[in-house]
Chains A and B, each alone.
Chain A
């Protein structure tokens, strides 16, 4: 079993839709939870960073962590074509462990 599981997609949605991206994990030692966005042939860009259960909002993005279920989510409201990218969840105890990434395509 992988430490971090993420549906690879692809996920295709119309502009304006609400997008839900999810990861599950097995290691209860993970303390920090992050979402990165990676455009094709580019390095990952940090979107959200949380360390406790609950929700954290930043503009159109909301990160949700449920430690009891070992489940994290990223919600994107009013999705835009520019949001089209691969979204990677990552978790940290003493090093970063990444999910495989979910490819998102937002079409006009």
Chain B
């Protein structure tokens, strides 16, 4: 089946630093990748949708200058949390869609737990 990896799986950083999270589709090409955030005991909330080679589309309330997304190839998307603060501590999960525009066939990565001190 389709495999999506994320790196790192866990990161702890100081307030004010930037953190980059990588999302890779290992055995298929992903024209669309999605970034979600999940707070404890809450649902996954879509942050942004990125298509390879174009700018990401951010959901309402998500600061594009704070959460930088790059989707430079069909197998790699990165999320950079800039100037992270404790309230950014969360579980960040990416997913990859195998067909452009098909939002229902998404394969999820294992997630990255970010803790900002």
Which A residues lie at the B interface, using CB under 8 A? Answer: 4, 6, 8, 32, 34, 36, 41-46, 49, 88, 92, 94-96, 98-101
Contact = CB atoms under 8 A, between A and B. Distances in A.
B27 to A, nearest CB: 16
A92 B93 contact: no
Contact of B43 (A88, A92, A94): A88
Nearest to B97: A96
A92 B104 CA distance: 6
Interface residues of B, number: 23
Interface of B: 4, 6, 34, 41-46, 49, 91, 93, 95, 103-111, 113
A46 B107 contact: yes
25 contacts: A6-B43, A32-B104, A34-B104, A41-B91, A42-B111, A43-B4, A43-B93, A43-B95, A43-B109, A43-B110, A44-B108, A45-B108, A46-B106, A46-B107, A49-B104, A88-B44, A92-B104, A94-B103, A95-B49, A95-B103, A96-B46, A96-B106, A98-B43, A98-B45, A100-B42
